[in-house]
């Protein structure tokens, strides 16, 4: 591939920025375009946790029995904007159909090569840049009320074990020894260790990576995608709201908005927004030192510089509706797990996880348009898998053969 080859990346979240840096490091000319500043999409507000142990998708056997109760209770962890239900029904039917044991194992097999070495992948991506200082190696604690609650969650742990992910168990007083801020309501912890970690401020992390890309000669433009530019059957670039950018190859890495971006090419990708929220408690005292999953409420808790972030929940309601109070209250309620913690002020956020119906990201060339590539659909693990995804898609664009089987990620699967 000639270094004159110009690649245009649409979307400056963790996936697009990682791809742009990897392409640049392979000697290609790269433009990174986003309608906003880098790291302002889902990559801004996630829990910041690098979790190779998160290969278990949301739809698992038994979900259908629990989901109606969760929805009717109105306290989470599942929410639905009811008027949106008819819009998302075709996607939802496919999504739920994937919750069989066979499919869960297939999804876990597909996710592991993307997320398995996440800590090492992020350290390699950020090496030599100011972003590196934001990565911390640290266990991820799954906190349960007691051992019985952990055992009731045994299906997911069996999937993790089958994927070679181990954990250490702490019970009773050992839990307080490990994480003194966690209140007495949580008497059992499973700690995921190898290759787990966290990113201190994921939005700032992505911005720091993007600044390194620019410092090394990459072009960053703030512009909103409207359509592809064509010359007959060939895509020659992208039409943005205020300009046209010509490119030899185009990568769509627009997260939850990627299906909209690809629509003008006639592609119908089964991708939904799985909305999630965070509440941040600033200037905390007596907060946790670890990132913790509160397994009863499915809230992830992450210490970050100056604040503790409570993030999570699943709300279906599309890309265009604003935030709602009930999920924000539910995510904020996680603070009760830390009875000794105090703080001075709070902020809140709604974001959009890119959720394919089968929970497997789309990474590769678009068969009908071979100079258009995709890298999106990372659902709950986009930060974790973003570094590796950028490397894989950069290989494909540069004409190299990745060292894993890319079949599961094909856009025409």
Kindly list the residues in this chain that would bind ligand FAD in the complex (CB under 6 A): 10-16, 33-36, 40-43, 46-49, 51, 224-225, 253-257, 261, 276-278, 300, 311-312, 351, 353-354, 376, 378-384, 386
CB of 19 to ligand FAD, least distance (A): 9
**Nearest to ligand FAD of 156, 187 (CB atom):** 156
User: Which among 178, 198, 183, 96 is positioned nearest to 145, based on CA atoms?
Assistant: 183
Nearer to ligand FAD, 98 or 384 (CB): 384
Query: Would you call the peptide bond into 256 cis, given omega within 30 degrees of 0 as the criterion?
Result: no
CB 347 within 8 A of CB 282: yes
> In the bound complex, what is the minimum distance in angstroms from residue 38's beta carbon to ligand FAD?
7
Tokens of 112: 């592991």
**Residue 224 beta carbon to ligand FAD: minimum distance, rounded to whole angstroms:** 4
**In the complex, least distance from residue 261 CB atom to ligand FAD, rounded to whole angstroms:** 6
CA distance 107 to 358: 7
Closest residue (Cβ) to ligand FAD?
382
Q: Which residue's CB is nearer to ligand FAD, number 43 or number 187?
A: 43
Q: Give 3-70 as a 3 state SS string.
A: CCCEEEEECCCHHHHHHHHHHHHCCCEEEEEECCCCCCCHHHHCCCEECCCCCCCCCCCCHHHHHHHH
The nearest distance, CB 240 to ligand FAD, in angstroms, is: 7
- As measured in angstroms, the least distance from the Cβ of 3 to ligand FAD is 25
- The DSSP 8-state label assigned to residue 402 in this structure reads P
CB-nearer residue toward ligand FAD: 125 or 187: 125
Per DSSP, 408 falls in state G
Cα–Cα distance for residue pair 158/202, rounded to 1 Å: 30
Q: Which is nearer to ligand FAD, 187 or 250 (CB)?
A: 250
Contact 336, 297 (CB under 8 A): no
Q: Which is nearer to ligand FAD, 16 or 116 (CB)?
A: 16
């Amino acid at each position: 591939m000639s270094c004159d080859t110009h690649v245009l990346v649409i979307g400056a979240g963790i996936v697009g920025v990682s791809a742009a840096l990897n392409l640049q490091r392979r000697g290609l000319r790269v433009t990174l375009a986003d309608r906003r500043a880098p790291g302002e999409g889902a990559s801004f507000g996630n829990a910041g946790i690098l979790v190779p142990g998160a290969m278990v998708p949301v739809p698992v056997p038994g979900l259908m029995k629990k989901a109606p109760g969760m929805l009717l209770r109105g306290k989470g962890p599942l929410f639905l904007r009811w008027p949106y239900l008819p819009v998302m029904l075709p996607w939802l039917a496919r999504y739920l159909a994937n919750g069989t044991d066979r499919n869960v194992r297939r999804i876990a097999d597909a996710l592991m090569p993307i997320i398995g070495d996440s800590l090492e992948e992020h350290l390699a991506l950020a090496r030599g840049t100011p972003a590196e200082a934001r990565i911390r190696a640290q266990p991820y604690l799954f906190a349960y009320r007691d051992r019985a609650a952990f055992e009731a969650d045994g299906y997911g742990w069996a999937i993790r074990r089958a994927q070679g992910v181990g954990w250490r168990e702490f019970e009773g007083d050992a839990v307080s020894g490990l994480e003194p801020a966690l209140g007495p309501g949580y008497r059992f912890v499973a700690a995921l260790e190898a290759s787990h970690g966290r990113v201190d401020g994921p939005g700032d992390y992505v911005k720091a990576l993007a600044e390194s890309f620019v410092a090394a000669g990459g072009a960053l433009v703030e512009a909103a995608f409207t359509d592809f530019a064509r010359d007959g059957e060939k895509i020659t670039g992208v039409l943005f709201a205020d300009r046209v950018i010509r490119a030899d190859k185009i990568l769509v890495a627009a997260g939850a908005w990627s299906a909209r971006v690809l629509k003008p090419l006639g592609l119908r990708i089964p991708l939904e927004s799985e909305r999630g929220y965070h509440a941040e408690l600033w200037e905390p005292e007596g907060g946790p030192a670890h990132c913790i999953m509160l397994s009863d409420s499915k809230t992830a808790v992450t210490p970050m510089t100056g604040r503790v972030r409570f993030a999570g929940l699943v709300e279906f309601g599309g890309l265009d509706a604003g935030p709602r109070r009930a999920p924000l209250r539910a995510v904020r309620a996680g603070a009760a797990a830390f009875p000794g913690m105090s703080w001075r002020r709070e902020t809140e956020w709604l974001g959009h996880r890119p959720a394919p119906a089968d929970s497997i990201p789309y990474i590769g060339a678009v068969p009908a348009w071979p100079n258009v590539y995709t890298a999106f659909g990372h659902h709950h693990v986009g930060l974790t898998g973003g570094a590796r995804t950028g490397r894989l898609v950069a290989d494909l664009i540069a004409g190299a053969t990745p060292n894993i089987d890319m079949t599961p990620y094909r856009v025409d699967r």
